[in-house]
């Protein structure tokens, strides 16, 4: 029996970790131990959904698919890091302008410490504007277009993040803007496609709702990690 045949027989009795370590011994061992007939049953057993990726790209080896599956599984098990910011250190500022004259219609500035956190722990806030000086002026506006900016400022004006700068229908309008994809450590914690939603309302309670959504609302901690 040739040496490679012995190696092939032994490989079927190795667990994935031992098989991967053994394949690093030399080039010939790598070629023998990394072949698809060794890794296909392992990959199908541990990550059956990843095995179907071969239908899209048959050139991707099964040992590579297994490594990708292991890395993804480890990321899911990791406890997300604590956000470096707290709501108390943030100031939420919303301005509403007449897009034609650029005159300010309504200005709101609220500290995060004044926010009432949603009972479900999502990043969603209501701000009472009934006593705001510009409220009556806004109430007199017609239902035409308005420009809305929403910024989050770090206390002491040490930093700012632009959540929104867009135009739309005023009065009871919803305003939405997609945020940049998170970078660095946050990219593995907070998903892509995050959208800032803001509702300007004159109905019951006269409130402004601020929220960040990713199909479902994201949590306060995830939003703080993103910021």
**CB 160, CB 153: distance < 8 Å:** yes
| Residue 178, pLDDT above cutoff 70 | yes
pLDDT at 204 (0 to 100):
37
Q: What average pLDDT does this structure show over 149-166?
A: 85
The residue ranking higher by pLDDT, 63 or 107, is 63
Residue 5, token pair as written in the block: 């045949």
Coil, strand, or helix at residue 113? helix
| Residue 103, pLDDT above cutoff 80 | no
The residue ranking higher by pLDDT, 71 or 212, is 71
**CB 209, CB 125: distance < 8 Å:** yes
Q: What is the mean pLDDT of the chain?
A: 75
- Residues forming CATH 1.20.1280 domain(s) in the chain: 3-77
The percent of residues in the chain predicted with pLDDT above 90, rounded, is 1
The percent of residues in the chain predicted with pLDDT above 70, rounded, is 72
Most confidently modeled range among 14-18, 81-85, 99-103: 14-18
pLDDT at 168 (0 to 100):
81
Least Cα distance to 51 among 63, 64, 37, 65 occurs for: 65
Under CATH, which architecture does the 3-77 domain have? Up-down Bundle (1.20)
In total, the chain counts a number of residues equal to 227
pLDDT at 205 (0 to 100):
37
pLDDT digits (tens, 9 = 90+) for 134-147: 555 555 555 567 88
Q: What is the pTM of this model?
A: 0.58
Helices (H) and strands (E) in the chain, counts: 8, 9
Which residues lie below 8 Å from residue 198, measured CB to CB, with a gap of 6+? 94, 148, 150, 163, 164, 174, 175, 176, 208, 209, 210, 211
205 exposed, middle or buried (CB, 10 Å; 0-12, 13-18, 19+)? Answer: exposed
């Amino acid at each position: 029996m040739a040496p490679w045949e012995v190696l092939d027989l032994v490989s079927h009795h190795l667990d994935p970790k031992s098989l991967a370590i053994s394949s690093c011994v030399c080039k010939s061992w790598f070629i023998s131990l990394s072949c698809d007939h060794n890794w296909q049953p392992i990959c199908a057993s541990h990550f059956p959904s990843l095995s179907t990726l071969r239908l899209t790209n048959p050139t991707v080896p099964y040992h590579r698919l297994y490594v990708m599956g292991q890395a993804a599984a480890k990321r899911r098990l990791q406890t997300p890091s604590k956000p470096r910011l707290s709501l108390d250190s943030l100031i939420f500022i919303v301005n509403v302008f007449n897009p034609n004259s650029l005159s300010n219609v309504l200005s709101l500035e609220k500290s995060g410490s004044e926010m009432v956190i949603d009972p479900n722990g999502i990043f969603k806030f209501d701000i009472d504007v009934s006593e705001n000086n510009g409220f009556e002026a806004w109430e007199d506006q017609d239902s035409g277009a308005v420009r809305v900016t929403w910024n989050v400022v770090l206390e002491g004006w040490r930093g700012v993040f632009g959540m929104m700068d867009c135009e739309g229908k005023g009065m009871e309008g919803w305003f939405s803007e997609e945020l940049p994809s998170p970078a660095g450590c946050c990219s593995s914690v907070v998903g892509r496609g995050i959208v800032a939603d803001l509702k300007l309302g004159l109905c019951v309670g006269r409130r402004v709702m601020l929220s960040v959504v990713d199909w479902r609302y994201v949590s306060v901690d995830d939003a703080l990690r993103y910021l």
